[in-house]
Structure 1
């Protein structure tokens, strides 16, 4: 029987001890550095164990040590300072009552989003090397054979840490690509697949570029991919994953740009694996884009559709998961499909719509659905 592999987008719920350490560092409060390191090592190992027990084949460190998938770069690179105004997604602005309810209920995470105010340069790979060591130790302890690690794309950094230093957006993207190149290569050279998080290719349409037409936005997104591909030029695409999304939050999402319009941009990324949302109510129908544009999917691309949602506490039935997987195996074949999740379960440290135990129940049902689909091949 050919087994359909399982994975997910990357971030997973952190323990309260981890969150407390992360925010102590974030808020420049005193903390024991040795205890911080020990906590991250232990928590990462436990995160790997839970993934293995849930049946996940390609695991991650859960982004344990990071405050978020994008703004962590402010701690590892020079050139960032201050804070910036929050710019809610366009769909939430259309429903101010709902936006206020989210804010009043603590439904919006609080963390610094500094601006780029100087030259972006790496402070060294020390924190990344610690993350890699923790992930590898967890894999060895719990029998995981394959793993990936997330890194921010130049485009998503430019979305959340906006430019006040470089003369143009293109210059800022180029500087970010040059700075991030070593991080990307360090991950791959460690024998771990690299995942680039690229919500800028969809989310930023209704968050930062709402004044543009769809065609104008796609031109911007293509610039982002150009910068990303430049940073990846010395890495084998067989070790690279790219994730696109429209924002990992429960909301109306009525301003989301269609997959149809960003499909060529996604396919142009220098990555073998493409991860995308296809379970939530706003994008579940878009599997047909892949069916109808099959000829435009490069032969070496592997599709990693989200077959479980990451914004609700419903645990999908394994049969539904299998049906979602089969829509894509019917398009490109089982050897070019990996079952994934729509987004991460812990996008921001200490914040997540899904209960931590339910997050792992969703990963378990993901693997059960993949087993059902595999048995039917």
Structure 2
């Protein structure tokens, strides 16, 4: 029987030498570009090997060279400068003691979030092409047959790199969609699967739009999807994955928008593969949304539920992984399910709750659980 493919959301813990180079560039310090490039090549190769060894079928470069999954665009596009004030998620504001503890313990990542202060224009695809070459070389070296590469969605860029230049948020989204279109197409043209990171479709509800009603937020989320779909208009949806989440942090998450509320928005994305959280304790019950609204899931959609968590160092038992996957197999069939993680393990360089070795132990358990789930069908 054909196995349930194993993958994950993308980012993985970075080795210290990588982090040192990334932050030298972030602080605009002098660094050896040739040394930087060599470090990234070697690190991506090692990251691909660890994924293959863990049983991951569809691998990534771990987002090795990026400072974060969203703000990396400031290094590849013009129009961004300075920094912006931090706005804590609404749920953390409700528990100020916990928020203070996180800050005191270094539980919040430190990196620049510049504003959009000028025209957004691509600086070229040179950095992306290096990332693609590193991933493809690592795949060839270690026998990985399929790979994907992350890219920021227009919506998530607008969330973390907010607009102070264009006349409206809608105009800013449109500009971002036009600018990112070439990046998306470059990834697919290289033979890789494109993954769009879209936490703006859920996380932004309690980060940026907490003063709105759910209905008002859903209208904004639909605008984000329209911008994204425009940027994807010339790409086969079968080569596209979209990831939605409520924020990759340990916290109460009591302000999260329900999956049922954003479900129609997610289904309208021009992507065949959908990645979403189901291990998050605040949303683990929401697999029932997919069961109860299965008729609203287009026949071509492939579901990639997150069946291992990325905010704790518990290693899920393979039988639990299998149970979580089986729920979705029973909804859409084994051929339309892949095994994934809730979010990335290293969404920000040098920051992550999960120990590196434990992250790969979780991926190994994910692979074992996927095999159990398939054998039970």
Residue 268 of structure 1 aligns with which residue? 268
1:366 correspondence with 2:366 = yes
Deviation at 1:2, TM superposition (A): 2.2
Unaligned 5+ segments in structure 2 are none
Structure 1 residue aligned with 2:111: 111
Query: Secondary structure of 1:276's partner?
Result: strand
Instruction: Please list, as runs of the form range in 1=range in 2, the aligned pairs for 1:347-366 lying within 5 A after superposition.
Output: 347-366=347-366
Shift of 1:325: 0.3
Counterpart CA distance in 2 for 1:282 and 1:50 is: 30
> SS at 1:151's partner residue?
strand
Deviation at 1:280, TM superposition (A): 1.4
Alignment of 1:14-25 (within 5 A): 14-25=14-25
Any idea what the Cα deviations from partners look like across 1:137-159, whole Å, max 9, x if unmatched? Answer: 00000000000000000000000
Q: Distance in 2 between matches of 1:280 and 1:239?
A: 27
- Is residue 337 from structure 1 mapped to residue 337 from structure 2 by the alignment? yes
Once the two structures are TM-superposed, the CA of residue 304 in structure 1 deviates from its matched residue by: 0.2
Within-5 A mapping of 1:191-340: 191-340=191-340
2-side partners of 1:280 and 1:256: how far apart?
11
Distance 2:16 2:364 in 1: 23
Distance of 2:139 and 2:314 partners within structure 1: 29
Deviation per CA, 1:110-153, whole angstroms, max 9, x where unpaired? 00000000110000000000000000000000000000000000
Structure 2 residue 95 is the aligned partner of structure 1 residue 92: no
* Deviation of 1:376 (Å): 1.1
1:174-222, Cα deviation, whole Å (9 max, x unpaired): 0000000000000000000000000000000000000100000000000
Match of 2:130 in 1: 130
For residues 247 and 363 of structure 1, the distance between their equivalents in structure 2, rounded to whole angstroms, comes to: 20
> Which deviations, in whole Å up to 9, do the C-alpha atoms of 1:2-36 show, x marking residues without a partner?
21000000000000000000000000111111000
1:214-261 Cα distance to aligned partner (Å, 9 max, x none): 000000000000000000000000000000000000000000000000
- 1:305-353 deviations in whole A, cap 9, x for unaligned? 0000000000000000000000000000000000000000000000000
Q: Aligned residue for 1:4?
A: 4
**How many residues end up aligned between the 2 structures?**
377
Q: CA deviation at 1:375?
A: 1.1
Corresponding position of 1:182: 182
TM-score by length of 1: 1.00
**Mapping 1:139-178, distance limit 5 Å:** 139-178=139-178
User: Whole-Å Cα distance in 2 between the matches of residues 91 and 175 of structure 1?
Assistant: 31
| SS of residue matched to 1:196 | strand
Q: Could you give the per-residue CA deviations for residues 29-67 of structure 1, whole angstroms, max 9, x where no partner exists?
A: 111110000000000000000000000000000000000
SS at match of 2:173: helix
State the TM-score, normalizing by the size of structure 2.
1.00
CA–CA distance in structure 1, aligned partners of residues 359 and 229 of structure 2: 32
Inter-partner Cα distance in structure 2 for 1:3 and 1:210: 42
Query: Which residue of the partner structure matches residue 38 of structure 2?
Result: 38
Partner Cα distance (1:2, 1:139) in 2: 22
Distance 1:158 1:373 in 2: 39
Show structure 1 runs of 5+ residues with no match.
none
